[in-house]
Structure 1
Amino acid sequence: MQNIIGIINSFQAYIIIALAVLVIILFIMLMVTLRSLNKLEGKYRKFMRGVDNKNLEGLVTGYLDKIDEVKLETEHMKELYNELNLKLKECVQKVSIVRYRAFEDVGSDLSFSIALLDESNSGVIITGIYGRNESTTYAKPIDRGISRYELSQEEDQVLQECINKTLK
């Protein structure tokens, strides 16, 4: 143990100089690290300030809230779309018309039959018979392509034309 103490005492000046140099190097490294940290902190603050001096975290949170609102609105739109789609199936989607001469003594094709059907081929056939002295209009209901009433040749023709129309 005396040998070690003796060696340390003989090299004491060199050890102190080496430790002082080491402290100076560590101090310089600390200063460089602090300077880098300050630069990084400045960049971080600038980054977090965001657009128009707003906090970036607040911007991101705001955008996430908007995304949630859009999701809710999209779900609402899907529900509206489904409701409209159901209503649309019951709307007139197919139309066909046939003009004809009901009586030989009346010129031109002034009589008509028109079919108005929905997606399930339900609706109405409206017929207008034009005569020299009078004109008559009547309607016949259609349920899934079939009428409870007897159809004339022209009414059956307009019904078949309407049923065979394809939806686009």
Structure 2
Amino acid sequence: MHQVISNIQLFSPYIIIGLSVIVILLFIIVLVQGKAINNIESRYKKMMRGTSTQNLEELIINNLDSINESEEKSKECLKEIKDLKKKTKSCVQKIAITRYKAFEDIGSDLSFSIAMLDENNDGLILTSIFGRNESTTYAKPVDKGISRYDLSEEELDVLNEAINKVN
């Protein structure tokens, strides 16, 4: 025991220097850890900003509930979009019109043909022939881009123009 004490006394300056270095290192570690804790605390406060709760678990649960609600609304919107796509397929999507002189003795382009088609090229051709003494309007149905009635040159032109329109 006496020898241990004499060894300690002999190496006491080195032990004191070593312990001082360890204390300085520990002090530096405490400072670094304090800075890291401050950074984490500021990030936590930033994340919790605008909430009345001080509990991270409540905030996460509220956010998850909000996400679930948003997913449900998104699914509803997608379903509505599919329904609307089905409905719009049968709506008039392609329209073409041409005006022309049906008779040489009429001064202006007062006659016209209009083609109105849906996505499947189903619809009608509406034609109005204007003459000096009378005016006639009639419609011809179109099924998949073809009419079962004879079409005039102007009606064929307006039908082809409508069919070739891109949605």
For 2:101 and 2:143, locate their aligned partners in 1 and report how far apart those are by CA, in whole Å.
27
Identity level (%): 53
Give the deviation of 1:134 after TM superposition: 1.4
Give the deviation of 1:108 after TM superposition: 0.9
For 1:144 and 1:89, locate their aligned partners in 2 and report how far apart those are by CA, in whole Å.
13
For residues 107-151 of structure 1, the C-alpha deviation after alignment (integer angstroms, 9 at most, x for no partner) is 111000000111111111000111111111111111100112111
The 4+ residue runs of structure 1 with deviation greater than 6 A are none
Instruction: Name the count of aligned residue pairs.
Output: 129
Residue in structure 2 matched with residue 136 of structure 1 by the alignment: 136
Q: Trace 1:14-163 onto structure 2 (pairs within 5 A).
A: 50-51=48-49, 52-54=51-53, 55-163=55-163
For 1:60 and 1:99, locate their aligned partners in 2 and report how far apart those are by CA, in whole Å.
66
**Shift in alpha-carbon separation, 1:86–1:53, aligned structure 2, 3 A:** closer
For 1:130 and 1:59, locate their aligned partners in 2 and report how far apart those are by CA, in whole Å.
73
For 2:155 and 2:77, locate their aligned partners in 1 and report how far apart those are by CA, in whole Å.
41
**In structure 2, the residue corresponding to 1:147 is in which secondary structure?**
coil
Give the deviation of 1:57 after TM superposition: 1.2
Give the deviation of 1:53 after TM superposition: 4.5
Larger radius of gyration: 1
For 2:84 and 2:142, locate their aligned partners in 1 and report how far apart those are by CA, in whole Å.
23
For 1:117 and 1:90, locate their aligned partners in 2 and report how far apart those are by CA, in whole Å.
9
